[in-house]
Amino acid sequence: MVLNYIWVGFFLVAFVVAVGRTLLAGDLDVWAEVMSASFSSASTAFELSLGLTGILTLWLGLMKIGERAGVIRIFGRLVSPLFTRLFPGVPKDHPAMGSIFMNVSANMLGLDNAATPLGLKAMQELQELNPEKERATDAMIMFLVLNASGLCLIPISIIMYRAQAGATNPTDVFLPILVATFIATLVGIVALCLKQRISLRDPVLLAWLGGLTAIVGALVWFFSSLAPAEVERYSSFVANFLLFGVIALFMGFGLFRRINLYDAFIDGAREGFQTAVKIIPYLVAILVAIGMFRASGAMDVITRAMESAVGALGFDAQWVGALPTALMKPLSGSGSRGMMVDLMSTYGADSFVARVSAAIQGSTDTLFYVLAVYFGSVGVKRTRYAVGYGLLADVTGSVAGVLATYLFFG
């Protein structure tokens, strides 16, 4: 129901702003821009689904091998002390535990293309435990917020964009992103634990959260001691080596268990293709609404209002130029990425506002894309409080990104 109100809200705001531009500025072209955006967004949604088809068939095929070889179950047992606390409604040995672990690991390595099919697999397995198929369970919401908060230890794509834009040191935003994304994830987990009445005093949960905090702190210390070129080289190596290592592990266990690897892969790949087709309507719905919202000029109105408010309060407004990235981040990954690239082109990749934009871009994932794809793939329509807590993680990540950039570059 919440998603329905938000979806309709995008259209209503776009209509009101377009009417305002017509009456106040005599801009008759705005209607053509809005309608053009609706058609192009629908086309983009379909192209995204097609692009996901190959990735989904590949990774769900590999996941099927890992599942039949027993590797996913092993991964699930490794993290079961933490996940049984965060997902109390999921049995300890359920395949969903392993799939969630694989998805979170891919996100942490900045491997979005791998994370999405792994996340869809985990959501399908969580749906098997769902007694009300159209209503999101607590476990589904926890999993969605973990994805929306997007804990990423190695932001390879952002480093790549900065390098292409001519940044003197493309990796200098690594530490602000790491700090921002960790804070967003931690706040999301703690808030949901309070909402779902999961005890934060549990010694195992405290040990895991404390251990993750220590690991992030150690990574900040380690990478801050490296030369800029080494940061990019090591982060790329670690991510890709671990990813290929997972594939080799699945294959190796499959050979050891003497399963038919090819048949297992084909069975999983079929599921991937079917999932890709299923999410097309959900992607079209959300991306068309967002595209019309942007084309109407609503985003510009919000940005100008914020600039005026910050200036009136006497605060430093350097960061406000990155606000469109923050506002677009929950709505459209490609949109927020485009705004980040535009800022780098306009002000320079090494400008303060470009660095703020990069930190915001890397702090969280795209909430409404994740919501549409993950819940849409299993037919969940009643999202309950998922949107509110996902937005909490998004806002926290954006604020933390701004503050972290001031800390390192202010």
Between 86 and 77, the higher pLDDT residue:
86
Cα–Cα distance for residue pair 294/274, rounded to 1 Å: 31
Enter the DSSP assignment of 319. Answer: G
Residue-wise pLDDT for 125-177, tens only, equals: 999 999 999 999 999 999 998 888 877 776 766 877 787 788 887 877 878 88
What are the pLDDT digits (tens) for 344-373? Answer: 877 888 899 899 999 998 888 888 888 888
Q: How far is CA 341 from CA 41, 150, 175, 373, 388, in A?
A: 19, 20, 19, 25, 28
- Helix (H), strand (E) counts: the chain: 19, 0
* Residue 281 one-letter amino acid: P
pLDDT band (50, 70, 90) for residue 2: low
pLDDT in tens, 220-238: 788 777 776 676 677 667 6
Does pLDDT of 195 surpass 80?
yes
Instruction: Say if CB 374 and CB 123 are below 8 A apart.
Output: yes
Average pLDDT (378-383) is 89
Rounded Cα distance, 381 and 377, in Å: 11
pTM of the model: 0.75
